[in-house]
Structure 1
Amino acid sequence: MPLPKPQAMSQPILCAAALRDIEQRQRQADPPLMERAGQAASQLALRLLADRPRLLAPLIIAGPGNNGGDAFVVARLLRQAGFPPRVIFVGHADQLPGDARKAHDQWIAAGGTTLDADALPTDEAACALVIDGLFGIGLTRPLTDAHATLVRRINAFDCPILALDIPSGLDAATGRVLGVAVRATHTLSFIALKPGLLTLDGPDHCGEISVHDLELGSEIAACAAPGCGRTVSRELFAGALRPRPRNSHKGSYGSVGILGGAAGMAGAALLAGRAALALGGGRVYLGMLERLAVDPQQPELMLRAPEEIFGLADCLAIGPGLGQSAEALALLTRAVDGKLPLLLDADALNLCAAHPDLLDRLASRGHAAPVVLTPHPAEAARLLQTDIASIQADRLAAAQALARRSNAAIVLKGCGSIIALPDGRWYINTAGNPGLASAGSGDVLSGMLIALIAQGWPAAEALLAAVHLHGNAADACVAAGSGPIGLTASELIPLSRSLLNRWVIAAAEIGMGTATSKAAPRPLPIR
């Protein structure tokens, strides 16, 4: 099985306040940031035009703000390169911001002209390329009337669509579609990534995302504004990717305890247990509420009465197939009041939502025994006493609020899963595909994660690694032709094991991992 395409190094994701701060400090830059953005976009546009019929002209949509100014710079540079574009200007020149007005005037001085939206071609195949410079990251209200109609007409063109900074109509902070949004085939994000490109509706509207830092690498690296995050990549947990010493035994790799598997839901706990074995847990104990003698597919799993697990495990995952019975609540209460590292998923989260005092007790546990919660949006809504729409309206804010409320590390699952730590740090995972939207996928993630914690991984690194590995395993399945349609959770398990071993080997080869004792380096402690 070939590896999926290697993930890029972790990239910064900047909030609007950080971007405004950088732009403000660069107001006197030479060349100006708008000129740099136009240069970067024109270079990408020329690459996209290289494969298009030369007889077809590019079409540029310029809006009434700075995004429109970027578009005018691109128009001027494409004209200089021999690809004179048709420019649709939705605005008034005398109302443009200063830099955008200058870019407009330079376009006109270079011999360019502008047309209004009525001049938009009606032939869907009439353009070599459409460049969307209508609205940028400052848009916060839904597009309506003429603007919404224009976006729908842009989406109808049968050619590449390049969005400047962000597809028009997409909320840069949340990934929400504001009424209607451009469906780009390519998005060039200026300075850094924005959260909305990577989560919720963003991935369905951005196409292939590239980033140009506009020669501001040192400014971006020094940015310490609250609310900025990073994409997940292997470098964030590289220190824990280490080969096993030859002189080891099953006790070297921890004892996993998994509580769940009520009547009719035994499969959830079995999937979690199988994933924990595949990811290297030394011993895996299943405390099944529906009593089974053995898992015939995975006889290495040790099935015990639920109450026995507390005396056998080094860490606990509770929730896969747990149900919400009185017995389930008693087990969860004992787990919350205990001292073992703890992962809560599925019905354990629903029970916490129904009994908020459990969340209070989780929050007061301190950090000696870390807690990880793995909700999907509906579970997060119950925990935060709101609705799914409110969670999805701002996934990042919801994950951060839940991390603060529970004093736990959180992954809010979904398109662009968000990892939030109680100290305010956050990350977005870009690996994965719709094949993960299947029954049991979350149970497999829980088993993977608790196995890493059992082996001595710090909870933050374990969460980052498990989520990233889970997504990459799904991508490997799709690359091999198994999915995304019909991809099953159990298919993720052997690929996750294979990928983890390959990552450990690769880390050792480049000197990132070391054969050490059970305890791993702790660059990302939960503080």
Structure 2
Amino acid sequence: MDTRSPRLPGTSPLLPAALLRRLEAAHAAQPLMARAGEAAARWAEQLRSDSARPVLVLAGPGNNGGDAFVCATRLREADIDVVVVSRADPARLSADAHAARQAFLDGGGAIAADIPVATPWGLIVDGLFGIGLARDLAAPYAAWTATAQAQARRDHCPILALDVPSGLDADTGRAWAGALQATHTLTFLADKPGLHTADGPDLAGAVRIAELGVAATAWAAAASGSPNRAASTADDAHLLPPGRLLAPADFAPWLKPRPKNSHKGRNGEAGILGGAPGMTGAALLAGRAALVLGAGRTFVGCLDPQAPAVDIVHPELMLRRGEALLATPLSALAVGPGLGQDDAARRDLATALGLAVPLVLDADALNLVAREPQLAAQVAARNPGRAPTLLTPHPAEAARLLACDTAAIQADRIAAARTLAARFNAHVALKGCGTVLAHPPGSDGNDPANPDGLPTAWAINPSGNPGMSTAGMGDVLSGIVVALLAQGWPPGPALEAAVHLHGAAADALVAAGTGPVGLTAGETIPAARSLLNRWVGATLPLG
């Protein structure tokens, strides 16, 4: 009998709006709108909270509205009461959307100019705007989204968004004014980055993909231009390349069981540098994470001269002064947890940057790099093959590194992560809702820079929850990353695995009743260990 864990889930491509338009153009001869509307109707039938209540369908002035009209027609054909609200000018609709609207009317449907106030709904379908909207919602649509939101709360009914929730930027996850918060989103052709980062997860709810009969690999051909329009060099220079929605399958090749003939020397020496006065807890959290996640030996160097000589929770940790740590042979080093920004911290960081080991920079290490041009130059000059650099900033730290404000980072998190990776020649995890990972050009041997000079390899991590919004979580992540590096993982997979594992561990705790409110950083460490071992078990061959 096979008693293994389930197979590790696979990754999903994330396509930007410009590439999706090329994909649509390349398959213009196929009935994509009909397929989209039919798929929406099938899910809508399942989602209705009360089968006795009608479904409200909001149909916009573009092809998203055409999808909504097809959905409404199919629901009517299934004897479901439907109220369609639309002010789209038939003369300005595309041919497909016009035909969908007319088919709805020819089938006996009627179109209302405003949302009925008193009708209780079993489901609301948002077909106002899709991937093309990049501005605040105007009248009457902003009023419709506000009314729909209020009525969904009143009626305790779901909201199903078609492709993306109206008002959500499909590329960045930015919510424009008037954006609708859906409980479910059926996205078409392929997944979109904006559904999984920044405001996207809050607005999209549960996401499903309807590929509409287009092969999952078809986007690769569309990336070089559609049959109807050759892509120009100028266009490609600003085209966001496809990304990935991170999953364990991305780093499965490194989820290997340890040989029975093993010893601590085979599992590496991890170092943590930080722990300035008043902040030794940060360094200890990182050290405990590195120890528990499998480093053969873990050394913690604290800058506080009064730091404890032993960690009573984990006496296996080897504690020493910061300068002594830097003289210790290490397999990988993390600098930043509780580091501080005084002269001693700057001196030790400069020394660490000169070491030929994989180096994780977080917290105050990043703040020092942002403040000191000489340190920034040292980071960028590190050899990515012999001494790779990994950066794990939160948005405020990323803003300091890029000399902008946090709002600019959050407005386009993918661009910010890619810019950091290019500027510092580093692997980057821009933390936050939907952590964005970017890798320097050439980091995997066959990944050149985009024509704009930014790296093409990027991903969004879907794991994690609001319980992680508490002190010490970043320190634990640094410890997990350095533990994997010390055990010989390549830098890109190590960073991706650590980010995904940390978030998944927090998800497992919440699912078991711990949090999200009150979840602590330390609690995620043993949970991450358990999950990592389950992932390794899922890769074992049948015995």
Same fold (TM over 0.5): yes
Question: Could you report, residue by residue, the CA deviation over 1:221-276 in whole angstroms, capped at 9, with x for unpaired residues?
Answer: 65546521011111110010011011111110000111000000000000000000
Contact 2:360 2:482 in 1 (8 A): yes
Residue 365 in structure 1 maps to residue 382 in structure 2: yes
Question: Could you report, residue by residue, the CA deviation over 1:14-73 in whole angstroms, capped at 9, with x for unpaired residues?
Answer: 0112101110111112xx111111111111111123xx4333111100000010000011
Measured in 1, the distance between the counterparts of 2:90 and 2:44 equals: 24
Question: How much is the aligned-residue C-alpha RMSD, in angstroms?
Answer: 1.7
In structure 1, what residue type is equivalent to 2:116? P
Aligned to 1:388: 406
Change (3 A) 1:445 1:6: farther
Which region of structure 1 is more displaced relative to structure 2, 365-374 or 428-437?
A: 365-374
Aligned to 2:210: 212
Residue 232 in structure 1 maps to residue 246 in structure 2: yes
Measured in 2, the distance between the counterparts of 1:275 and 1:308 equals: 21
Contact 1:350 1:383 in 2 (8 A): yes
Which region of structure 1 is more displaced relative to structure 2, 150-159 or 359-368?
A: 359-368
Measured in 2, the distance between the counterparts of 1:323 and 1:88 equals: 58
For residue 183 of structure 1, report the CA deviation from its aligned partner: 1.1
Measured in 2, the distance between the counterparts of 1:366 and 1:35 equals: 53
Secondary structure of the structure 2 residue equivalent to 1:304? strand
Question: Could you report, residue by residue, the CA deviation over 1:186-229 in whole angstroms, capped at 9, with x for unpaired residues?
Answer: 10000111111001111111111101111112413655465210
In structure 1, what residue type is equivalent to 2:158? P
Q: 1:270 aligns with which of 276, 281, 284?
A: 284
Residue 292 in structure 1 maps to residue 292 in structure 2: no
Measured in 1, the distance between the counterparts of 2:213 and 2:220 equals: 12
Q: 1:177 aligns with which of 170, 175, 184?
A: 175
Change (3 A) 1:359 1:235: same
Residue 333 in structure 1 maps to residue 336 in structure 2: no
Measured in 1, the distance between the counterparts of 2:223 and 2:427 equals: 21
TM-score computed with the length of structure 2 as normaliser: 0.90
Secondary structure of the structure 1 residue equivalent to 2:36? helix
Contact 2:472 2:521 in 1 (8 A): yes
Contact 1:13 1:230 in 2 (8 A): yes
Q: 2:263 aligns with which of 222, 226, 249?
A: 249
Contact 2:367 2:397 in 1 (8 A): yes
Instruction: Quote the sequence identity (%).
Output: 52
Contact 2:161 2:182 in 1 (8 A): yes
Contact 1:262 1:322 in 2 (8 A): yes
In structure 1, what residue type is equivalent to 2:27? Q
Measured in 2, the distance between the counterparts of 1:7 and 1:85 equals: 41
Contact 1:16 1:173 in 2 (8 A): yes
In structure 2, what residue type is equivalent to 1:136? G
For residue 113 of structure 1, report the CA deviation from its aligned partner: 1.5
Contact 1:260 1:266 in 2 (8 A): yes
Contact 2:5 2:537 in 1 (8 A): no
Question: Could you report, residue by residue, the CA deviation over 1:359-404 in whole angstroms, capped at 9, with x for unpaired residues?
Answer: 2222222222111000000000000000000000111111111111
Change (3 A) 1:510 1:82: farther
Aligned to 2:450: none
Aligned to 2:116: 121
Aligned to 2:321: 305
Aligned to 1:17: 18
Contact 1:444 1:490 in 2 (8 A): yes
Contact 1:75 1:84 in 2 (8 A): no
Alignment of 1:156-167 (within 5 A): 156=150, 157=152, 158=155, 159-167=157-165
Measured in 2, the distance between the counterparts of 1:473 and 1:116 equals: 48
Q: 2:128 aligns with which of 109, 124, 134?
A: 134
Measured in 1, the distance between the counterparts of 2:130 and 2:39 equals: 16
Measured in 1, the distance between the counterparts of 2:138 and 2:517 equals: 34
In structure 2, what residue type is equivalent to 1:44? W
Aligned to 1:519: none
Aligned to 1:524: none
Secondary structure of the structure 1 residue equivalent to 2:100? helix
Aligned to 1:351: 368
Aligned to 1:83: 80
Secondary structure of the structure 1 residue equivalent to 2:165? coil
Contact 1:4 1:475 in 2 (8 A): no
Residue 436 in structure 1 maps to residue 433 in structure 2: no
For residue 94 of structure 1, report the CA deviation from its aligned partner: 1.2
Measured in 1, the distance between the counterparts of 2:143 and 2:517 equals: 33
For residue 509 of structure 1, report the CA deviation from its aligned partner: 3.8
May I ask how many residue pairs the two structures share in their alignment? 502
Contact 2:129 2:167 in 1 (8 A): yes
Residue 496 in structure 1 maps to residue 510 in structure 2: no
Contact 2:63 2:97 in 1 (8 A): yes
Measured in 2, the distance between the counterparts of 1:116 and 1:283 equals: 69
Residue 378 in structure 1 maps to residue 396 in structure 2: yes
Aligned to 1:518: none
Secondary structure of the structure 2 residue equivalent to 1:489? coil
For residue 177 of structure 1, report the CA deviation from its aligned partner: 1.1
Q: 2:422 aligns with which of 396, 404, 419?
A: 404
Q: 2:509 aligns with which of 459, 468, 477?
A: 477
TM-score computed with the length of structure 1 as normaliser: 0.93
Aligned to 1:319: 336
Measured in 2, the distance between the counterparts of 1:437 and 1:66 equals: 39
Spell out structure 1 runs of 4+ moving beyond 3 A: 3-8, 220-226
Measured in 2, the distance between the counterparts of 1:248 and 1:222 equals: 46
Measured in 2, the distance between the counterparts of 1:27 and 1:172 equals: 21
Which region of structure 1 is more displaced relative to structure 2, 319-328 or 201-210?
A: 201-210
Structure 2 unaligned segments of length 5 or more: list them. 225-239, 442-454
Aligned to 2:233: none
Structure 1 unaligned segments of length 5 or more: list them. 512-527
In structure 1, what residue type is equivalent to 2:13? P
For residue 90 of structure 1, report the CA deviation from its aligned partner: 2.7
Measured in 1, the distance between the counterparts of 2:8 and 2:413 equals: 23
Aligned to 1:515: none
Aligned to 1:195: 193
For residue 4 of structure 1, report the CA deviation from its aligned partner: 12
In structure 2, what residue type is equivalent to 1:366? N
In structure 2, what residue type is equivalent to 1:171? D
Secondary structure of the structure 2 residue equivalent to 1:385? coil
Aligned to 1:514: none
In structure 1, what residue type is equivalent to 2:419? A
Residue 61 in structure 1 maps to residue 58 in structure 2: yes
Question: Could you report, residue by residue, the CA deviation over 1:267-286 in whole angstroms, capped at 9, with x for unpaired residues?
Answer: 00000000000100001011
Question: Could you report, residue by residue, the CA deviation over 1:411-465 in whole angstroms, capped at 9, with x for unpaired residues?
Answer: 0000000001112200001011001110000000000000000000000010111
For residue 8 of structure 1, report the CA deviation from its aligned partner: 4.0
Question: Could you report, residue by residue, the CA deviation over 1:261-313 in whole angstroms, capped at 9, with x for unpaired residues?
Answer: 00000000000000000100001011101132111111100011211222321
Secondary structure of the structure 1 residue equivalent to 2:111? coil
Change (3 A) 1:80 1:13: same
